[in-house]
């Protein structure tokens, strides 16, 4: 019998590429991951991994097992969802991962509605970067998560997850109010405030600037958009800011709409769409998003 948790580790290895990355994703040691994968090989009865020095790649059998494992994991989620529908009411924890601007704007009304409709549901919110959401879903640390990408830097969908679109926002160029810029090319010589390296927002800023023919001159790094806007208003530079972050634009900052769009979706493990708690959250966050946008 193949162990489901070990199948998940094999799928993670296929997705992440190294045992070290799988270990980091699960807060395991690399040796613990290796031991679990070796046990899976014994269960399967065929070699699943090829080791060349420190590198590990999947064999043909390993790749086939990954394909079937994704189906098995989705089927288990469907089974869990089907059993949950037999309950007379929603109860237990619903763990939600969301990026900061969504936590401030979209989630509060959704949480209030869910609390009134399903008082036995234990709502637990974790603020996290969208890039961390897929691994958190796979590892079952959260049940639903808000992901976003940008039209100029689309993110490849995770094969273990399903998602439904939630909203599409305009991205703005934020400049000090006394700056005479009308568009991105007018700030090629300005100081920039951008997100930390390795984040999607950082990548998007570099892409937009380079598409306009320049590399931004970075003065400050900040990941919280409220901080970014405060720095812009203080004359410390210019930045890119999505629409959800503009609820409290400070005096001293001026906003210029750009053609770039940020797209947000609600993601969950493949097969769990019919789970009552997941379905209730999707419905509630859609309603709160429509209300926030005045639809």
pLDDT at 88 over 60: no
Parallel, antiparallel, or unpaired for β 217-221 and 191-194? parallel
- pLDDT band with cut points at 50, 70 and 90 for residue 48: confident
Identify whether residues 161 and 27 lie together within a single domain: no
Range picked from 17-26, 155-164, 198-207 for highest mean pLDDT: 198-207
Identify whether residues 61 and 138 lie together within a single domain: no
pLDDT at 294 over 80: no
Identify whether residues 67 and 110 lie together within a single domain: no
Q: How many CA atoms lie within 13 A of 142 on its CB side?
A: 24
Range 11-27 average pLDDT = 81
Identify whether residues 99 and 224 lie together within a single domain: yes
Identify whether residues 118 and 78 lie together within a single domain: no
Across all residues in the chain, what is the average pLDDT?
88
pLDDT at 176 over 90: yes
> How many domains, the chain?
2
Identify whether residues 36 and 69 lie together within a single domain: yes
Identify whether residues 101 and 47 lie together within a single domain: no
Identify whether residues 79 and 103 lie together within a single domain: no
Domain enclosing residue 130, as ranges:
89-295
Identify whether residues 34 and 121 lie together within a single domain: no
Residue 166 sits in a domain whose CATH number is 3.40.190.290
pLDDT at 287 over 90: yes
Identify whether residues 94 and 71 lie together within a single domain: no
Residue 26 sits in a domain whose CATH number is 1.10.10.10
| CA dist., res. 262 & res. 224, Å (int) | 16
Tell me: the pLDDT tens digits for 103-141?
999 999 999 999 999 998 999 999 998 888 988 898 889
Nearest to 254 by CA among 238, 242, 270: 238
Cα angle vertex 1, ends 22, 136, to 5°?
Answer: 30
pLDDT at 248 over 80: no
Sign of CA dihedral 229, 231, 234, 236: negative
Of 52, 83, 114, the residue at which a domain comes to its end is 83
Identify whether residues 115 and 195 lie together within a single domain: yes
Nearest to 185 by CA among 212, 217, 211, 204: 212
- pLDDT band with cut points at 50, 70 and 90 for residue 282: very high
Identify whether residues 24 and 93 lie together within a single domain: no
Of 59, 83, 107, the residue at which a domain comes to its end is 83
Of 64, 83, 102, the residue at which a domain comes to its end is 83
């Amino acid at each position: 019998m193949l162990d489901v948790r070990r199948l998940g580790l094999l799928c993670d290895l296929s997705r992440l590429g190294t045992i070290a990355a799988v270990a980091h994703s699960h807060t395991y040691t690399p040796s613990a991951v290796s031991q679990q994968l070796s046990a899976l090989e014994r269960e399967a009865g065929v070699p699943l991994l090829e080791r060349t020095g420190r590198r590990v790649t999947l064999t043909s059998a390993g790749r086939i097992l990954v394909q079937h494992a994704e189906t098995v994991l989705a089927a288990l989620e469907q089974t869990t969802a089907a059993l949950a529908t037999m309950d007379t009411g929603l109860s237990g924890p619903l763990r939600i991962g969301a990026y900061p601007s969504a936590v401030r704007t979209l989630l509060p009304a959704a949480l209030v509605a869910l609390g009134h409709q399903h008082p036995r549901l234990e709502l637990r919110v974790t603020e996290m970067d969208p890039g961390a959401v897929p691994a958190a879903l796979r590892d079952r640390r959260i049940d639903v998560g808000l992901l976003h990408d940008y039209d100029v830097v689309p993110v490849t969908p995770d094969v273990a997850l399903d998602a439904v679109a939630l909203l599409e926002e305009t991205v703005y160029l934020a400049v000090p109010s006394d700056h005479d810029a009308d568009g991105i090319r007018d700030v090629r010589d300005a100081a920039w405030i951008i997100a930390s390296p390795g984040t999607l927002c950082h990548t998007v800023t570099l892409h937009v600037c380079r598409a306009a023919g320049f590399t931004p001159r970075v003065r400050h790094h900040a990941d919280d958009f409220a901080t970014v806007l405060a720095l812009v208003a203080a004359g410390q530079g210019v930045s890119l800011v999505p629409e959800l972050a503009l609820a409290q634009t400070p005096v001293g900052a001026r906003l210029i709409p750009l053609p770039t769009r940020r797209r947000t979706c609600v993601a969950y493990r493949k097969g769990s769409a019919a789970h009552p708690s997941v379905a209730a959250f999707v419905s509630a966050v859609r309603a709160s998003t429509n209300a926030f946008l005045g639809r």
